[in-house]
Structure 1
């Protein structure tokens, strides 16, 4: 993906920082080099929120959740200090209700929801539940991923109507049958599209027609796509894919691992 300077024209940062961000994006495939440019941009931008948000997304999609978590916490700290926000949740909730349209408050809540989301990915489930439950209480329009994450962490997948008819046989669906290749990965993506697009109740038929693709790598791909969907605001799609991944993982004997990762 090639990024131009025009796409960053609204960033309130120096031209050399913009250049670093552009070079990092254009070297996306070279992770070591891209990380180097992102870190240099962070060092030069003096806690600029636009740069921090961009860096958060970069590390999130590079599957570096620990770094993304630290950046989310930094965003929270900067906004809290700038806006003089209280640490106590009940006081903060009142402030949010009084400043519904305030962009800084909305960004704070999104960063807080992101923190809960990443904690869930890292297996810190109790803290993730607490954060996502809090955000869920005030996120009436489901603008963040918090509601979906909270539902996934607290609801049994067996109760999901769309998955209630799934019944797989473990001796048919092998845990790992074929090494992951780019071609096979594209087949996983196509199968996910077919599952999302099929009429309600026909998911078992779609899976049955693609038995050779159902393995541990497919479950992992489901989780990756679900993660991206939740982070981009497609809560219903993310919820369905996560429940599907958990159901398949139970049949494959992977369920304990997946609970920890989700």
Structure 2
């Protein structure tokens, strides 16, 4: 089956999923089937990330966000390793889809790791998001404040 057909079939699986609130197990099965059918499709990964995120399954959301970050890096033609990406490698402050997706994936990874209690692992993703976009158009500063509050509680 051609990749486009596989992606369409996977998206149809997600569209016909019963719903995360009404049937989380059924939706999880649909998400897993869609990922198996089209693992490299951005829309499928976004759907999977959102499902895991909104059902507070942050450990399962992490690999989805990592894949989204890799796909965005490919689209931007920047280094595969996010630690090697610099502010001049793409128009990160511009209101364009790929740079925005890249920044949102960094913030998503930071958030998921922080929700999992791993602030040390999440903070570098936030630092990179601020380095690439000092205007903070996705309001990642809220995560910094939450992390600082958690450090003060310790």
Give yes or no for TM over 0.5. yes
Structure 1 pair 107–156 and aligned structure 2 pair: CA distance change class (3 A) = closer
**Structure 2: stretches of 5+ with no match in the other structure:** 1-5
Secondary structure at the residue paired with 2:90? helix
Which residue pairs with 1:136 in the alignment?
Answer: 130
Q: Is the 8 A contact 2:113 2:119 kept in 1?
A: yes
Which residue pairs with 1:21 in the alignment?
Answer: 14
Cα-to-partner distance string for 1:91-149 (whole Å, 9 max, x where unaligned) = 43221347734421210111011001111111111122222133134444443252110
C-alpha distance in structure 1 between counterparts of 2:83 and 2:15, whole Å: 38
C-alpha distance in structure 2 between counterparts of 1:155 and 1:30, whole Å: 35
TM-score, normalising length from structure 2?
A: 0.78
Q: Is the 8 A contact 1:133 1:146 kept in 2?
A: no
Q: Is the 8 A contact 1:114 1:146 kept in 2?
A: no
TM-score, normalising length from structure 1?
A: 0.49
Which residue pairs with 1:152 in the alignment?
Answer: 146
Which of residues 92, 95, 101 is equivalent to 2:86?
Answer: 92
C-alpha distance in structure 2 between counterparts of 1:64 and 1:98, whole Å: 29
Which of residues 25, 40, 53 is equivalent to 1:47?
Answer: 40
Structure 1 pair 136–147 and aligned structure 2 pair: CA distance change class (3 A) = farther
Which residue pairs with 2:115 in the alignment?
Answer: 121
Does structure 1 residue 106 correspond to structure 2 residue 88?
A: no
C-alpha distance in structure 2 between counterparts of 1:76 and 1:156, whole Å: 26
Query: How far 1:82 sits from its partner (Å)?
Result: 4.3
Q: Is the 8 A contact 2:107 2:140 kept in 1?
A: yes
Q: Is the 8 A contact 2:52 2:61 kept in 1?
A: yes
Secondary structure at the residue paired with 1:55? helix
Which residue pairs with 1:249 in the alignment?
Answer: none
Q: How many residues align?
A: 148
C-alpha distance in structure 2 between counterparts of 1:114 and 1:70, whole Å: 11
Which residue pairs with 1:36 in the alignment?
Answer: 29
Structure 1 pair 134–98 and aligned structure 2 pair: CA distance change class (3 A) = closer
C-alpha distance in structure 1 between counterparts of 2:119 and 2:53, whole Å: 18
Which of residues 56, 71, 82 is equivalent to 1:63?
Answer: 56
Higher Rg of the two aligned structures: 1
